[in-house]
Structure 1
C-alpha cells in the first residue's frame, strides 16, 4: 500500500506543492551533477592545461552518443511507466522496466567492444588534432569500459522519478557527484594520472551509485519490481518506449553532431585554444540550464500520470506553473551571464587570453537565453504525454534544424565569431517553433481536453479497475 501511495500522490497532492517537491530534488541533483562536471574541467584545466580540456571536449560527442541510447530508454520508459501506473497497470510497468535493463546490457557490451576497436579512428573523425588526440583517448577509454554504469544510472534516474520518488532520484545524482569530486584530485594530482585519472574517478563514482540503485529496486523500495521474467525482450514494449524516447535520443545524438560541427569549425577558423574555451563554456551552459531541466523533470511524472488518469485540470495547472517558473529562471540566467562573465571564466582558468575570449563569447552565446524556458517545457511536455512526433520536432529544432546549419554557415562570413552567434539565433527560432506547437495543441493542456472535469477544484477519481 505504501508503495502504491508513492505514485498515487501524483494525482492527489496540490500541484504547486507537488511540482516543488519533485522539481527541487531534481534541481539539486542536476546541480550537483553539473558541479562535478565543472570540477572535472577545473582540475583538468589547472592540472594538465587548456589542450587537455580541448581533448576532453573533442571526446565528449562519443559519450553523448552512448548517453543518447540511455536517454531514449530512460525518458521513453519513464513516460510509459508513469502512464501505466496512472492506469493501474502495474505488471505492465514492471515489464517495461525489465526491457529497459535488457537494452542497457546490450549497449554496454557494444561500448566495451568499441573501446578496443574504433576509439582512435572515431576521435580523429570527430576533429581531434595530433596535439589533443592523446588526451581524448586517455579520457574516453575508461569511460567506454564503464558504459554499463553510466547507462544504468542515467536511465534508471528517470524511471525512479516516473514513480514520483524525486528524493531518491536526487540522491542517485548527488552520490556519484560527491565521490567524483573527492576522487578527482587523488587520481589527477596524487597519482599523477592526468586526464585518464579524471575518467577513472568518474567510472568509479558511477559504479558506486549503480550498486545503490540496484539495491533500491531489488529490496522492494520501489513501486516497480525487477524479476528475471521481466527481462525477456518484448518488441511491442520496446516499440512504445523507443517511440516516446526517440526525441530524447535524437536530442542527445543531435547534441553529439552539434559538438562535432562546433569543434570542427572552431579548429578551422580559430584553433585548439578556441576548442578549450568552448569546453569551459559548455560546462557553464550545463550549470546554468540545469535548474530549468529540473523543473521539466519534475513536471513530467505529474503530466504523465494525470494524462493517463484523464485528470486534465491538474495537467493544465502543471503546464502553466512550469512555464512561469522556467521563464523566470531563464531571465535570471541572462542577467547573471551579462553581468559577470569574467568571474565565471576565472573559476576554470587563470590564463588571461582564455578568460578574455571566454567572457566575450559567453555574452554572445547567452544573449537569447531568456527564450530557452519555453523550449525546455515544450519538449518535456510532449515526451510526458507520449506524443513522439511533436517531442521529436522540438528536441531536434534547436540543435539539428537551426544550430548546426548556422554553425556551418556563419563562420564563412564572420569568422570564429559566427560559431558563437549561431547560438542566440537558433534559440530565437526554436522558441518560436515551441510556442507555435504548444499554441496549436493548447486544447490538450489549456482547458479543453476531452474528458476534462469542468467543475472547479474537483478531481476525477481513479478506480482500481481503470
Structure 2
C-alpha cells in the first residue's frame, strides 16, 4: 500500500523511513547504472578512443544535470508543501510551468551545446580522434536535453508526493530501454557513439512519457490542470528561487572535480593519482544510498510543513538523519575494517602503504557525518527557505577552495585528503548549527493554524491556508 498524505502526517516516522527508503535507494542505484551504460557499450564495441571521447566530455553533461536540479528541487518543494496545505490552486499549474521551463531551457542548452561542442571538448583537452568522438557524442546527446530535463524533473515531482516505488519502476524501465536501444544502435546499426547518445535520448523520451501518463491520468494526489505551455510568474519565480541552491551545488561539482584532480596530478605521481581515483570511487558509491533516503525525506518534511506540523517536519529530519548515519556505518564497515581488500577490487595486485590506507579510513570516517549536512540542506529546500539553502551552497565553495589550495602546499598529496576531511567536518557543523537555529525560528504551537510561508527571492509569501 502506497504512503498517502495522511500517512505522512500521522504514521510513525521510523515506519515511514523503513517504507520509503528502500525504493528511494533502489531508484538511485538504477540511475547510477544508467550512467554507465553508454561507457560500457562504447568501450566494448567502438574502442578505447571512443571511450576516451565520452570521458572527456562527461563534465559537459553536468550542465543539464544542474538544470535538472534547478527544476526538480523547486517543483518538489512546492508540490509537497501544497499537498500538506491542501491547496489545489497551487498544484494546478505545476506541470505546465515545469513543461514550459524544460522547453525553454532545453532550447538554449541544445543550441549552445550543438554549436560549441567541439570548442568545449578542446578546452577540456580533447584532440584528434578523441575530439571527434567526444564532439559527435555530445552533439547528439544534447539534442535530447528536453526529454532529459522533463523526464528527470517529472520523476522528482512524482517522488515529491511520496510515490517513490512508482518512480523507481519507471526509472528501471528507462534503464532497460537505454540498454536495449544503445546496444541495437551501436552494435546492430553500427552508429558508434552517436548511436549510444541516440539510445539515451530515446530512453529519456520513454521516461518522460511514462511519468507524464502517470501524472495526467490521476494516479497522483496532485490536482494537476490540463497540460499546456504556460508560465505562472509567481509560481515560476518561487520554483527558480528554491531550485537555485540545487543548481549551484550541481554546477560547482565540475569545478570541484577539476581542482581536486589537478591538485593530485600536480603534487603526486601516477600511482597516487590512481589510488585517489579508487578512493574517490569507493567514497562516491558508498554515499549513493543516502540520496535515496533524502528523496524520502523531502516529501515527509514538505507535506508536514505545508500542513503546519512544523515540529513533526523537524523530527523527521532527526529521524532520517539517524537513519542515514546508521546506513552509512553499515556500508563503511568493510572499508574501515578491511581497506586493502576493498581498494584491491579497483587496484588489483597493488601493495598499499599504511599511510595511504589511513587516509582512506579518514575519508570513510568523515563520510559518516555527511547526513548532518544533507538532511539539513533538504529541510531548507523542502520548506522553501531559498535564501538559506543558496547561502549554504555558495558558502561551501568559499570554504572548499582555500582548503584545497593551501593544505596541499604544506603537506603535498596528504593535504588533499586532510582538506576534504576538514571541509566536510566544517560544513556539516555549520549546517547543523543553522538547522538548529532554523528549527527554533519556524517552530509553532501545535494549535497554530496551517499557514506555511515560503521564502522566495528574499521575500516571504503566504502559500495557503485551510480551516
TM tier, shorter chain? Answer: 0.7 to 0.9
2:121–2:131 Cα contact (<8 Å) kept: yes
Alignment match, 2:212: 214
Residues 310-340 of structure 1 deviation map (CA, whole Å, 9 limit, x = unaligned):
1134223312211111111222333233455
Shift of 1:202: 2.6
Unaligned runs of at least 5 residues, structure 2 = 449-463
Q: 1:136 to 1:252 in 2, by over 3 A?
A: same
**1:101 & 1:372 partners in 2: Cα distance?**
33
Are the structure 2 counterparts of residues 385 and 464 from structure 1 closer, same or farther at C-alpha, using a change threshold of 3 Å? closer
Match in the other structure for 1:457: none
- Aligned counterpart in structure 2 of residue 425 of structure 1, from 422, 427, 433: 422
Q: Which of 107, 126, 144 is 2:142 aligned to?
A: 144
| Alignment CA distance shift 1:212-1:349 (3 Å) | farther
Counterpart of 1:450 (choices 435, 444, 448) is 444
Shift of 1:383: 0.8
Mapped partners of 2:247, 2:393: distance in 1: 9
Secondary structure of the corresponding residue to residue 368 of structure 2: helix
CA contact (8 A) 1:41 1:348 kept: no
- Structure 1 pair 195–382 and aligned structure 2 pair: CA distance change class (3 A): same
- Residues 287 and 367, structure 2, Cα contact 8 Å, conserved in 1: no
1:69 aligns with 2:89: no
**Count of matched residue pairs:** 449
Give the structure 2 partner of residue 111 of structure 1.
109
More displaced stretch, 274-283 vs 83-92 = 274-283
Q: Is the 8 A contact 1:21 1:166 kept in 2?
A: no
Verify: 1:100 aligned to 2:94, yes or no: no
Once residues 123 and 38 of structure 2 are traced to their aligned partners in structure 1, the CA distance between those partners, rounded to angstroms, is 25
Equivalent residue number for residue 161 of structure 1: 159
1:401 to 398, 401, 413: 398
Distance across 2 between alignment mates of 1:123 and 1:418: 30
Distance in 2 between residues matched to 1:135 and 1:355, nearest whole Å: 36
Equivalent of 2:233, from 229, 232, 235? 235
Please name the residue that 1:174 is paired with: 172
Q: Does the CA-based 8 Å contact 1:76-1:245 persist in structure 2?
A: yes
Normalised by the size of structure 2, how large is the TM-score?
0.82
- Aligned-residue CA RMSD in angstroms? 3.7
State how far apart, in whole Å, the 2-side matches of 1:349 and 1:55 are. 23
Which shifted more, 268-277 or 281-290? 268-277
Give the structure 1 partner of residue 118 of structure 2: 120
Tell me which moved more, 419-428 or 103-112. 419-428
Aligned to 1:458: none
- Could you tell me how far apart the structure 2 residues matched to 1:277 and 1:50 are? 22
